[in-house]
């Protein structure tokens, strides 16, 4: 897959999200198969998801770095998924993938979610 195809897949996922009210999007091509995405998706309750990915899609979708941070309308963290390598001492089973839930220091085991999974989780929360 070419990086432009991946960019379009993410844009489609955001565009068709039924609870989004608006979004900002920036995608930078870093080669035929590599790119960086930064976006903010705003929802009907004024909460916002900030996302960023550095991805290589040459053979499979490999997100070398990612962060999906969901904040309420007062800028309080609801959750964040990321693969920053700063929690090695916690011996998480799927290190470096993890989730911050409710606050920065509440760190949980997590698999690496895709954007569609994160949006579905937000949809359930906004129920």
pLDDT digits (tens, 9 = 90+) for 16-31: 999 999 999 999 999 9
pLDDT score, position 94:
72
Output the average pLDDT for the chain: 92
How confident is the model over 2-21, as a mean pLDDT? 96
- Please state, in angstroms and rounded to a whole number, the distance separating the CA atoms of residues 17 and 87: 32
Higher-confidence position of 105 and 37: 37
Q: Mind giving me the DSSP string for 72-120?
A: -TTS-EEEEEE--S--GGG--TTTT-EEEESSTT-EEE-----HHHHHH
């Amino acid at each position: 897959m070419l990086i432009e195809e991946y960019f379009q897949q993410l844009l489609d996922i955001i565009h068709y999200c039924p609870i989004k009210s608006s979004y900002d999007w920036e995608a930078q091509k870093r080669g035929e198969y590599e790119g960086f995405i930064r976006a903010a998706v705003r929802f009907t309750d004024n909460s916002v998801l900030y996302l960023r990915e550095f991805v290589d899609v040459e053979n499979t979708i490999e997100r070398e770095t990612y962060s999906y941070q969901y904040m309420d309308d007062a800028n309080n963290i609801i959750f964040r998924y990321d693969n920053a390598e700063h929690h090695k001492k916690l011996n998480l089973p799927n290190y470096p993938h993890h989730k911050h839930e409710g606050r920065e220091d509440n760190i949980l085991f997590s698999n690496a979610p895709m954007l569609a999974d994160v949006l579905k989780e937000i949809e359930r929360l906004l129920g």
